[in-house]
Amino acid sequence: MAPKRKAKQLDGPRHTKTPKLSQRREQETIPFFTKLPQEMRDEIYHQVFSNTRVAWGRRPADRNLAVRFKPAPNALALLRTCRRIRDEIGDTWLGKVLFHFEELEEMLDKLTPLPVQIVSKLRHIRVSGKALTLHSFPFNYNLSLASALKLIPSLRLDTLTVFGSLAGRVVAQYESLNKLIRGSSGWKELRYICRFSTILGYAEGSIIWSVPSDNLLRRPQPSDWQSALNDRDGDSQPSVAIYRSKTVTNYMDPIDSLMINPSNWERYEQPIPGTKEDDLKFGLAADAKITTGDEEHKEVLIIVRRGKAVGYETKITTAPLPAASGETVNQLDLTGKSWNQIRAAHIDTRPSEIYHYPFDSDSDGEEECVEVADSYENVNEYSWAPLDSIHWGNHDAIVM
């Protein structure tokens, strides 16, 4: 049984000793407090934390090596300078810092133990869109990001940024994005970034799952997603926009995402079929305009904004994940289970009958992992892993 990771709290560093009176008086007399008005100090705090990122999680570097990120050692150093600065900042830093998680599992480990008073103050999260594999004989099940968000009550982000890092699993990325747009909560603005344009142009014949799902059927975008969002939010002016990179990427190399720079964005829309017959044929064949040659190797950014004054906070519920069963669809019943219970039953311990999962990166146990401190010049920058390092995951898994 793998040891359970201890969740790292997000409520900032703690002082164990109270400063002496002379120390507090000395703090009051330094020029930062005597020369700068409160408004300017608040702006300094805002600028510092808005350009701060704290990161956790594992990213593949090659087939047998992974890098595990931890926060930069001085990421929150301003909170440690003196008690008065800490008191002035309070917990406002929680709404300014970008919390980055390389893995969905890491995000759940860190956030689910936190009290709702802290979770409700988080405003910016970035996470991989790769579904989390849950083991249960005789199937593997994939827990989607949309379902995982239901395990974090009171989440109300300004921006949720998702990297569709499943290189080659474009159908899974499309399904993940569909689930987020059509039914997830916890975010006001969703930014979904894909390394290739294939997500918008794959053929329906490339769907290899035997489980039928409308989430797998490609539709003209962004009009279809816009319609789904209109159904959710009514006349509150929700919006969906798609952008492609103007620049072609070298797809086999590790490379920084180009979509952090808006000047590199180019608006993209797929034409709506003109007739019912055209509509029925849509997606049966790949869209050669964006899935061949250099056109395929352009990144895609989908920006989804919920409607004005729409409630988007995740709700506290005793049944965070749906239970379902049927002749053609088998789903793992997670009704009412917490993340700790799900982790203990389907990640930390595998049923003894299961001795091998095809394409499962954890099945051989041979991957070496090196821990490094996160470093960046721009909090929004992101480096794609090289394609030859990607473990493809279990193709037979059922996505929840």
Cα–Cα dist 123/319, whole Å: 25
Instruction: Check if the beta carbon of residue 383 is closer than 8 Å to that of residue 256.
Output: yes
- The pairing of beta strand 53-62 with beta strand 65-70: antiparallel
Q: Residue 279 domain-assigned?
A: yes
- Mark residue 309 as left, alpha or beta (left: phi above 0; alpha: psi -120 to 50; beta: remaining): left
Q: Residue 10 domain-assigned?
A: no
Per the structure, the complete domain to which residue 374 belongs is given by: 52-71+98-399
- Of residues 59, 71, 101, the one with CA closest to residue 376: 71
Cα–Cα dist 324/310, whole Å: 29
What DSSP character marks residue 334? -
Exposure of 308 in the CB half-sphere (CA atoms within 13 A): 3
SS3 263: helix
Which pLDDT score is estimated for 231? 96
Render pLDDT for 272-331 as a digit per residue (tens, 0 to 9). Answer: 888 888 887 888 888 999 999 899 889 999 999 999 999 999 987 654 454 433 233 457
Q: How many domains does the chain have?
A: 1
Q: In which residue ranges of the chain is pLDDT below 50?
A: 1-2, 4, 7-8, 16, 209-212, 319-320, 322-329, 352-365, 389, 391-400
Which pLDDT score is estimated for 323? 40
Which pLDDT score is estimated for 160? 98
Which pLDDT score is estimated for 165? 65
Q: Residue 316 domain-assigned?
A: yes
Tokens 């090289």, residue located: 386
Q: Residue 8 domain-assigned?
A: no
Q: How many CB atoms lie within 10 A of CB 177?
A: 24
Which pLDDT score is estimated for 367? 64
Render pLDDT for 88-97 as a digit per residue (tens, 0 to 9). Answer: 999 999 999 9
pTM recorded for the entire structure: 0.85
- Of residues 154, 107, 112, the one with CA closest to residue 129: 107
Q: Residue 17 domain-assigned?
A: no
Give how far the C-alpha of residue 287 lies from the chain's centroid of Cα atoms, to the nearest Å. Answer: 27
What DSSP character marks residue 270? P
Q: Residue 27 domain-assigned?
A: no
Which pLDDT score is estimated for 33? 83
In the chain, % of residues over pLDDT 90: 50
What DSSP character marks residue 325? B
Q: How far apart are the first and last CA of the chain?
A: 25
Q: Residue 151 domain-assigned?
A: yes
Q: Residue 39 domain-assigned?
A: no
Which pLDDT score is estimated for 324? 35
DSSP one-letter string for 14-45: --SSPPPHHHHHHHHTSHHHHTS-HHHHHHHH
Exposure of 228 in the CB half-sphere (CA atoms within 13 A): 20
